[in-house]
Amino acid sequence: MNQTPRILPDLLAPMNDFVRKSDQVIDPVAMDYLAKRHPDGIRVIDIASYHGLLFVEAQDIVEIALCAQQLKVRRDQDGDILFVWRAGTMPPLSGLEKTLLRQAQRDLEAGPDRIFVEGAATDLRVGPSAVRKALEFLVSADLLTRDGRAYALTPLGRTEGDPE
């Protein structure tokens, strides 16, 4: 009988540990709990502290979950992650984003569910660039889709949100 130790389990242990940590981070119950504790957005540091992870571990897991389309992220101008949320759920929205989503929901009841940048900027008395930036975030959050020069509600955008 061969008494040499097996090396394979030792090589798989770090990978199994990473998979276990990843499953903890993307667990819907844990994400919902964190969303309730941090209504303005779950930061990567919040995930790291809740799960007892190093910041870089949490950041790696979030990036992988983003690629796997399990999480969505909002980034700042430098590309750093501001906050995360589970894919298919409502993200934390700014006041302008909430207003645009409510406007699209009202327009859906009144007729076509399309938003045009210039019209929304005029209606809300804000600059077109601010409206365009907010609309692009709503597209990245799967609440709106781009339809030529207009934006249309997605099924998630129709059913979720902050209706008045």
What does each of the 164 residues of the chain score in pLDDT, given as a tens digit? 566 666 666 778 888 899 999 999 999 999 999 999 998 899 999 999 999 999 999 999 999 999 999 999 999 888 899 999 999 888 988 888 888 888 777 766 665 556 677 777 777 888 888 888 888 888 888 888 887 777 778 878 776 554 44
pTM: 0.75
One-letter amino acid identity for 1?
Answer: M
Measured CA angle at 66 (ends 84, 27), to 5 deg = 65
How many other CB atoms are there within 10 angstroms of residue 66's CB atom?
15
Largest Cα–Cα distance of the chain, in whole Å? 82
Residue linked to tokens 């009841």: 109
Residue 12 backbone class (left: φ over 0; alpha: ψ -120 to 50; beta: rest): alpha
Q: Where are the alpha helices (DSSP H) in 80-146?
A: 95-110, 117-124, 128-140
